[in-house]
Amino acid sequence: MKKFGCVLALFFVIVVFVNAKGNRQPRCKVALSKDAKYLAASGDILSQRQGENVISSYPIKLYDVASGNLLKTLLSQSAFVDSLVFSPDGKKLAAGLSDGTIQLWDVLSGNSVRTLAGHQFYVLDLAYSPDGRILVSASDDKTIKAWAIENGSLISTITEKQPVQQISFTNDGEELIVRLGLSFESETLIEASIKNYKVPGWTLLRERSISGLGDIFGAYYIPSNDNDDAIFSAIDIGSDDEGKDISNSIVGYSRNEGPIPVKGRVYNVAIANDGKQLYYTLDNDIIVFDTASKKEIKRLSHDNVVSLLYNSVGNIIISSSSDYVVKIWNANTLNNIKTIIIKPKSDP
């Protein structure tokens, strides 16, 4: 079976930032360097102005993971940060913004080194090639763009039929894996597409779909070192004996495995690189699930989690919440080893 890796293969993050009416919701976006030394965080802030809720952008902050200390605050940007990723060597940080641009930062100096412009809407995901020479961006404008890091030139553009929500490279850098947004084939059947493109050349190699009955909240492709896993969470809305709406989420893992019925809504999913542990949020807990025994191992307490990361180098799980609290967990002991407050209450 083909092995997967690189920056996005080390961890996976799902962030919910748009509600059912299409309005932007405040959330915390985080990224971890491949060597697990640096943490970057940004997002949206909800505040009150003249009696109305206002969403504003929050500066990108760089932290030392070991100490939890703030290293740098990057200059504030007018647009919202929708995606963050470190280069494979950890020297550059790329931020995908809501205005369709991509900002590149030098991690050591904290200086902005380049702006890449070309997308029309949100840049939802970013991925570096294993050698760090190419940066690929995925956008809500239904395009994928490949950029040459050396000079910032546009290499290629791929146009899809749905918004492009997740991208990652294979370990050898020869393929790009793409997850498209959901397409509504009927009132009950919803489908999400996953495509593999050849690198270079950017030609389509294969495509597969994940579909299910009911209201599928999201379908997530999770590349890992030893497994080719398709993770999805579905919400089947039904009624109990009293006519009240109830929901049952299903978290499925691997193409060849059956679903896991879960009561409640699953909003975030991550998986360890060896495929042995699955992590997902349910209510105010992070569920650690053993994929071999198909049993819940432990519940980690963290309220209002909006994203989950897994990093194989540090063997850590990182959860971030809507109130800008980041918790770092040891993936072996499952103990909370560090808590970082991204936005102190004194901040505006």
Answer for the pair 98, 79: CB distance below 8 angstroms, yes or no.
yes
Q: Is 134 helix (H, G, I), strand (E, B) or coil?
A: strand
Nearest to residue 138, comparing CAs of 152, 153, 148, 128? Answer: 128
Start-to-end C-alpha separation, the chain? 50
CA separation for the pair 45, 53 (Å, rounded): 10
Residue 150 phi, psi (nearest 5): -60, -45
CA separation for the pair 241, 310 (Å, rounded): 40
Nearest to residue 254, comparing CAs of 275, 229, 233? Answer: 229
Q: Is 121 exposed, middle or buried (0-12, 13-18, 19+ CB in 10 A)?
A: middle
Answer for the pair 88, 5: CB distance below 8 angstroms, yes or no.
no
CATH match of 6-341 with 3.40.640.10 = no
CA separation for the pair 1, 6 (Å, rounded): 17
Q: What is the pLDDT along the chain (348 residues), one digit of tens a residue?
A: 333 333 232 333 333 333 333 344 556 788 999 999 999 998 765 554 556 655 556 788 999 999 999 999 886 566 788 899 999 999 999 999 889 999 999 999 999 999 999 999 999 999 999 999 999 999 999 999 999 999 999 999 999 988 888 888 887 888 898 888 765 554 445 566 778 899 989 999 988 776 654 445 555 555 544 444 555 555 544 444 555 555 556 666 555 555 666 766 677 788 887 778 888 888 789 999 887 888 899 999 998 888 888 898 899 999 998 888 999 999 999 999 999 988 754 455
Domain boundaries, given as residue ranges, for the chain: 6-341
Q: How wide is the angle at C-alpha 147 spanned by C-alphas 104 and 122, nearest 5°?
A: 65
Residue 188 phi, psi (nearest 5): -120, -25
pLDDT at position 177, please? 86
CA separation for the pair 284, 64 (Å, rounded): 27
At which residue do the structure tokens 């993050």 appear?
13
Residue 12 phi, psi (nearest 5): -135, 140
pTM (whole model) above 0.75:
yes
Nearest to residue 169, comparing CAs of 105, 99, 85, 100? Answer: 85
235 beta partners: 215, 249
Cis peptide preceding 223, ω within 30 of 0:
no
pLDDT at position 294, please? 81
Residue 6 phi, psi (nearest 5): 70, -165
314: left (phi > 0), else alpha (psi -120 to 50), else beta? alpha
Q: Is the dihedral of CA 70, 71, 77, 82 positive or negative?
A: negative
CA separation for the pair 190, 28 (Å, rounded): 28
Answer for the pair 310, 11: CB distance below 8 angstroms, yes or no.
yes
Cβ atoms < 10 Å from Cβ of 160: 17
